[in-house]
Structure 1
Amino acid sequence: MTTAAELLAQDFGSFAELIHAHASERPDAEAVIAGDVRLTYADLDRLGDRIAAQLQAKGLESGESVAVCGLNGWAYAALWVGILRAGGCVAPFAQSSTPDALRLMLDDSGARIFFADADIRAAMDVPEGVETVTLDDDDTFNAWLPAEGSKPEPVALHPKQGFNIIYSSGTTGTPKGIVMLQEMRWRQVRALFTSPDTVSILSTPLYSNTTLVVFLPTLASGGKVVLMKKFNTVEFLTLSEREKVTATMLVPVQYKRLMAEPRFDEFDLSAYQMKFCTSAPFAAELKAEVLKRWPGGLVEFYGMTEGGGSCVLRAHEFPDKLHTVGQPMPDHDIRLIDEEGNEVPTGEIGEIVGRSGTMMKGYKNQPEKTREGEWYDSEGNRFIRTGDVGRFDEDGFLTLMDRRKDMIISGGFNIYPSDLEAVVKEHPDVDEVAVIGVASEDWGETPVGVVVGPRDAEVVRSWANERLGKTQRLSAVYIVDELPRSAIGKVLKRELREKLAL
């Protein structure tokens, strides 16, 4: 039998086959811990076989999508192995989506089998012809599985075959299916390969690429994954200490909550070797605090679910660059372009476009959206447009400004909300802030601030405007109890506008 090391040495291979190799070499090694359930690699491999066999018995064809929607759990983890082993493409949906959005995603994916938590099934109008299986009820899920020892027919994978589809609604509310190929994920697994000693704790959801860039490589490496259904600071720290966790992926708001946890320093986190972050702006002062108080290195990734170019900041190696998202990763080509699609020189601001070996095939069933998200250089090379605006410094480190669509044009001047947010955050009463643009008869658009913390909005507005440039001044400040965020911590500015009717 081919060993895991031999598989990983290949230019292309199967994630599910890697799990089988680890199960053969280290059957009793723990693979997944979720609540009270602890699965060894032998357990995970057998579950993968049974899931794959049942999917094939249901008529699943190679490359066909299987939809999944629910909180993190042992069955969800096993589905990734089983669906891929059957030759299927995993289509995980955000459980926070509305029933209408879930129906759109289900229709778009073409899935005929839908694994979902009970509350999601109850809220949805599942179309006729789609089989639903309850994911968060162990008895129901186990009853769906075939007999112990069931094995699937072997499936030959093609590099251009879909591995998974991640649905990203962005700020438009319209789901877009980002198709990620087998070859793309294989490159990623090899690039992020760790070791069998890795113990990763993950509290972000399994439908998110944020989670998958650690979940998949950890299992591919023969390591252990600790899954949390929902993030809780004390539970996270307790599990980290108990399981001797060596790595985690968190979003900035989770780091912020952990640093604010009164009991943080009571826990033994000495096993940590590396911490990762992505998905949302990560304040320099928060990075500095994490480095000071939490053992192990800190790495920030900047990139898109769609792929393209990515940057990496090894914060523990470059403490003077914490305000940036780092430098392009090896073999990643990142450039900045202006409104006309022309490249801009170093030091100037432009939209970020990227190219690498890990790029999406395109948006499923949306060729126009796919074309809108592409840019080609003078030699015809394809790049993915990020929609973010940034600037390279003289050392090649990238500083993010804002989302291009969030940029405010007031009186002909470009205003970057992040610049204003950085000033407002300095007010002692402000816990969080988001700046958005609203229509203005006089200026076209004008910036307003939405803040959490203070009691008097006008005091904050006056204080900020004394420190902002003339064209940047806030026309209003609104106080809210909390900022709306996605499951991976991004502030949803569209929802803010809707909530405040701006």
Structure 2
Amino acid sequence: MPTMPALVPTPPEYRDPEYALHPDGTRVERLEDIPRRRAAVTPDAHAVITPSGTTTFRDLDDESNRVGQALRADGVGPGDRVAYVGENAPEFLAVMYGASKVGAVPTALNFRLAGPEVAYILGNAEPAAIVLGHGMEHLAEVARAADVRTVVTLSGAAGTTPYDGWLREVTDEDPGYARAADETALMFYTSGTTGHPKGIELTGPNIGQAIAAMHYLLDLDTTSIALAPVPFFHVSGLGLALVAGVNGSALLLRNATSPADLLEILQEHRVSHAVAVPTLIQFMLAQPAARTGDWSALKYLIYGSSPIPEPVLREATEVFGCKFLQSYGLTESTGGVTMLSPEDHRPTPETVHRLRSVGRPMPNVPIRVVDPATLEDLPPGERGEVLIGGGHVMARYWRNREATDATITADGWLRTGDGGSFDADGYLYLHDRLKDMIVSGGENVYPAEVESTLTDHPDIAQVAVIGVESERWGESAYAVVVPAPGSSPSEADIIAWARDRMAHFKCPVGVAFVDALPLNASGKLLKTALRDTYGS
């Protein structure tokens, strides 16, 4: 067995790290190397903990080898896409790493999407194989209709290949693929302002650089237990899994049924690191058990998607007593690019305003605020569009040159579409969403996508979707509808129709009916007027 140390101290030159490091001191630049390197150092340490048992790093490495061999036997090779749809599970990680070990591109799909939404993505990604998690068997027909060659289900549903049987006929020899730095290593799908989901291609160096700051900041080691309640189809959810794997930490996969259940899980498993959206933290604080719990094991609570109101944050800091860290980023930036540090979360009266920010740029991540028309830099205090540069920026949108060129400038800056400004100390504040994105319970909802679906309703002539305040979710979608001539649709009918065709978190929670949508002199929709009337 190798004698490499299980824990690697942060070298002085990595105080501002560019890459995360494997336990042997080499850079994390290939996704497929994470289980290989970790299994060589701590083979018997727990990689994943679930209600049904544990998976060691040796187990994960061996199973991902079998997945790779099974894919290879099915004719899957470098550049092919391998999709996974399902809740967080050890099999997700085995499929991701196994696909990588044959040079294929793991493609994480949102398991909350409706059948037609999944069908669109499969038609766009054209995966050679798909693995459907528990409860996702109904998508087998959708996959077959999209001509996916290999359809595997964890349950072994009729007409599909059972996961266990798929792996039983192959060896656990490592397929041995080593991906080049410019090859796509991972693909997520997200919705764009055009209303169509887009594939986001990330490389190994993207991932190695994106997890670097968290890798050194979070004090993860082989004694840590990290809870991943955020789905792996989110870059933030998978990011924690990758950082935990590099550091030899155990990843706890348990789906809480309620905020009270989550509090019990955190204590029962002595969780040291957890990720949560602000609304969930608020729900947890509303439980009396939060104040009587034992939080001595909890070291970090990491949150994102929006700032936490100052009174809530002060209460959370007092109740949980751990370090809080906020980050802002996009899937296109391979996750977080700013950091509101634990120190920032214990402000003085002179610095309390920083709690409204998303922090300062992470090391080695250049961020600018520019005039969205000229792309000229703006001084502190002036609002403009946030641009992100450096090694975090995605390679491209999958098969969408037009969208890529519109999003990444000729000199490599990612146009986020988010409005923001810097203060004199370099803290970034987000003000408005240039793309009108709605954040509902930590999920990004793009009005154009919802509008595109609602427009197909036979009783809708025109529709505009805005965000409205939600006590539970922060924001929710709200539709303003111009009925088709001679029709009189009801609010309940439109909402039910939408819920049959879209993930429920995207669907409008209310509908207003108007004779005409407000337009300016050029015929452009005035969503500001709709927000003034109906919105938040």
- The answer for the alignment partner of 2:62 in structure 1 is 46
CA distance in 1, matches of 2:467, 2:109: 32
Q: CA deviation at 1:164?
A: 0.8
Give secondary structure in 2 for the equivalent of 1:496.
coil
Gap runs ≥5 in structure 2 = 9-20, 440-444, 448-463, 473-490, 515-536
Q: 1:74 aligns with which of 90, 100, 105?
A: 90
CA offsets, 1:1-32, max 9 Å, x none? 69576845324543433323332332221110
Task: Write the distance in 2 (CA, Å) between the matches of 1:180 and 1:68.
Answer: 16
Counterparts of 2:467 and 2:269 in 1: how far apart (Å)?
A: 42
The answer for the alignment partner of 1:198 in structure 2 is 224
The answer to whether residue 264 in structure 2 is matched with residue 238 in structure 1 is: yes
Match of 1:181? 203
Question: 1:141-160 residue pairs with structure 2 within 5 A?
Answer: 141-147=163-169, 149-160=171-182
Match of 1:362 among 388, 396, 404: 396
Runs of 5+ unmatched residues, structure 1: 408-416, 419-433, 437-445, 455-477
Amino acid at match of 1:405: K
Contact 2:3–2:41 under 8 Å retained in 1: no
SS in 2 for 1:151: coil
Residue 355 of structure 2: aligned partner = 322
Structure of higher RCO (CA pairs closer than 8 Å, 6+ residues apart): 2
Q: Residue 15 of structure 2 aligns with which residue?
A: none
Q: Give the drift of 1:136.
A: 5.0
Q: Distance in 1 between matches of 2:466 and 2:31?
A: 48
Distance in 1 (alpha carbons) for counterparts of 2:198 and 2:245? 28
1:414-452 deviation line (CA, Å, top 9, x unaligned): xxx99xxxxxxxxxxxxxxx9x9xxxxxxxxx9998455
Give 2:65's aligned amino acid. Answer: D
Q: Is the 8 A contact 2:299 2:322 kept in 1?
A: yes
Computed over aligned residues only, the root mean square deviation of the Cα atoms, in angstroms, reads 3.5
Contact 1:70/1:136 (8 A) holds in 2: no
Is the Cα contact below 8 Å between 1:60 and 1:88 reproduced in 2? Answer: yes
Equivalent pair of 1:204/1:231 in contact (CA under 8 Å)? no
Q: Distance in 2 between matches of 1:250 and 1:232?
A: 13
Distance verdict in 2 for CA 1:491–1:396, change over 3 Å: farther
The alpha-carbon deviation at position 453 of structure 1 amounts to: 6.8
SS in 2 for 1:62: coil
Q: What is aligned with 2:236?
A: 210
Q: Does 1:125 align with 2:125?
A: no
**Structure 2 vs 1, CA of residues 447 and 110 (structure 1 numbering), >3 Å: closer, same or farther?**
closer
Tell me whether 1:115 sits opposite 2:137 in the alignment: no
Pairwise CA distance, 1:255: 1.1
CA-CA distance at 1:497 after TM superposition:
8.3
Could you tell me how far apart the structure 1 residues matched to 2:305 and 2:323 are?
Answer: 18
1:98 corresponding residue in structure 2: 114
In structure 1, the partner of 2:74 is: 58
Mapped pair 1:312 → 2:339: yes
CA distance in structure 2 between the partners assigned to 1:2 and 1:100 by the alignment? 51
2:415 matched residue in structure 1 = 385
One-letter amino acid of the counterpart of residue 364, structure 1: W
- Separation in structure 2 between the aligned mates of residue 329 and residue 190 of structure 1, nearest angstrom: 10
Residue of structure 1 aligned with 2:301, choices 275, 289, 300? 275
Deviation sequence 1:276-306 (CA, Å, 0-9, x none): 1113443333322221211211000011110
SS at match of 1:402: strand
Q: Does 1:20 align with 2:36?
A: yes
Contact kept in structure 1, 2:32 and 2:98, CA below 8 Å? yes
Match of 2:434 among 395, 404, 415: 404
Q: CA-to-partner distance for each residue in 1:320-378, whole Å, 9 max, x for gaps?
A: 221111111112111112231322221111111111211100110111111111235xx
* Shift in Å, 1:114: 0.6
Q: 1:231 to 1:357 in 2, by over 3 A?
A: farther
1:351 counterpart letter in structure 2: E
Which has the higher mean CA deviation after the structures are superposed, 303-312 or 92-101? 303-312
Structure 1 residues 119 and 317: CA distance shift in structure 2, 3 A: closer
For 2:250, the aligned partner's letter is K
Count how many residue pairs are aligned between Structure 1 and Structure 2: 435
Mapped pair 1:34 → 2:50: yes
Matches of 1:354 and 1:297 in 2, distance apart? 26
TM-score by length of 1: 0.78
2:190–2:197 contact (8 Å) kept in structure 1: yes
Amino acid of the residue matched to residue 413 of structure 2? Answer: F
Q: Does structure 2 retain, via aligned residues, the 8 Å contact 1:332–1:355?
A: yes
The 1:254/1:173 distance shift into structure 2, 3 A limit, reads farther
Q: Which of the residues 406, 417, 423 maps onto 1:372?
A: 406
Over the matched positions of the two proteins, sequence identity in percent amounts to 24
Residues 1:289 and 2:289 are matched in the alignment: no
